[in-house]
Amino acid sequence: MNNYIILSEKQWNVNLANDLTKLTGDSWVLISEKENFTETELRKLNPKKIFIPHWSYIIPSEIYKNFTCVVFHMTDLPYGRGGSPLQNLIVRGYKETKISALKVEEGLDTGDIYLKKDLSLNGKAKEVFERANCVILEMILEIVKTDPKPSKQIGEAYFFKRRTPAMSSIQDLEQLEQIYDYIRMLDAEGYPKAFLETENCIFEFKNVSKQNDNTLEAYVRIIKK
């Protein structure tokens, strides 16, 4: 029996370890806290591979040099290296993408590619991440079963900048489709909601839907400054 680790701080990934344990018969451990992801703890677990569906921190070199770390990135690499891939894709008009499984190496999203799978970007961010979770499960099973040799990335690199909370404002958007995309692409745990701001209040939006009369409906949370 082999030992594996799932590294993620996101709620939509919490069932991966249990599901993989049932499907493979191997030992799968979920690490969701940064303080538990240390070389000392990893040596105790002695994982064959560390799979990283969603992690907001830099992987230390002493870890990726001593353990095989496989991270999943929501772009067709080398296009879209960097932060906030889902939001950066949607604001550029993409309707679908690929999830790239790559080996963690020095440099941001520069590692060799194990495999890629298609992913639809329809729906709100939470739904996209849940859909991605299912795709990632399939990818992990394939990597564990076939142990593919990763290949160098092909093509010209294009970098995304990590989005800031201030970029979630819909104040200057002119088209309803743009507003719809902004609200849905930020509608997930841990992301700053799309908002409007007045002198006295902040209006946060989620659960947006298109109506038959060419309008949008959404839940609004009003916060007093």
For 40-73, what is each residue's pLDDT tens digit?
A: 999 999 999 999 999 989 999 999 999 999 999 9
The per-residue pLDDT for 201 is 98
Q: Give residue 28's pLDDT band: very low, low, confident or very high (50, 70, 90).
A: very high
Q: Give residue 14's pLDDT band: very low, low, confident or very high (50, 70, 90).
A: confident
The per-residue pLDDT for 194 is 98
Specify whether the CB–CB gap between 179 and 173 falls below 8 A.
Answer: yes
pLDDT at 156 over 90: yes
Q: Would you state the CATH architecture of domain 165-224? A: Roll (3.10)
Spatial separation of the C-alpha atoms in residues 112 and 93, rounded to whole Å: 27
pLDDT at 11 over 90: no
pLDDT > 90: percent of the chain: 93
Spatial separation of the C-alpha atoms in residues 187 and 181, rounded to whole Å: 10
pTM: 0.93
Pick the CATH number of 3-160 from 3.40.50.1820, 3.40.50.170, 3.30.1050.10, 3.40.640.10: 3.40.50.170
pLDDT digits (tens, 9 = 90+) for 77-102: 999 999 999 999 999 999 999 999 99
Summary mean pLDDT of the chain: 96
Convert the chain into a string of H (helix), E (strand) and C (coil): CCEEEEEECCHHHCCHHHHHHHHHCCEEEEECCHHHCCHHHHHHHCCCEEEEEECCCCCCHHHHCCCCEEEEECCCCCEEEECCHHHHHHHCCCCEEEEEEEECCCCCCCCCEEEEEEEECCCCHHHHHHHHHHHHHHHHHHHHHHCCCCECCCCCCEEECCCCHHHHECCCCCCHHHHHHHHHHCCCCCCCCEEEECCCEEEEEEEEEECCCCCEEEEEEEEEC
pLDDT at 133 over 90: yes
Spatial separation of the C-alpha atoms in residues 114 and 139, rounded to whole Å: 9
**CATH 3.40.50.170: which residues of the chain?**
3-160
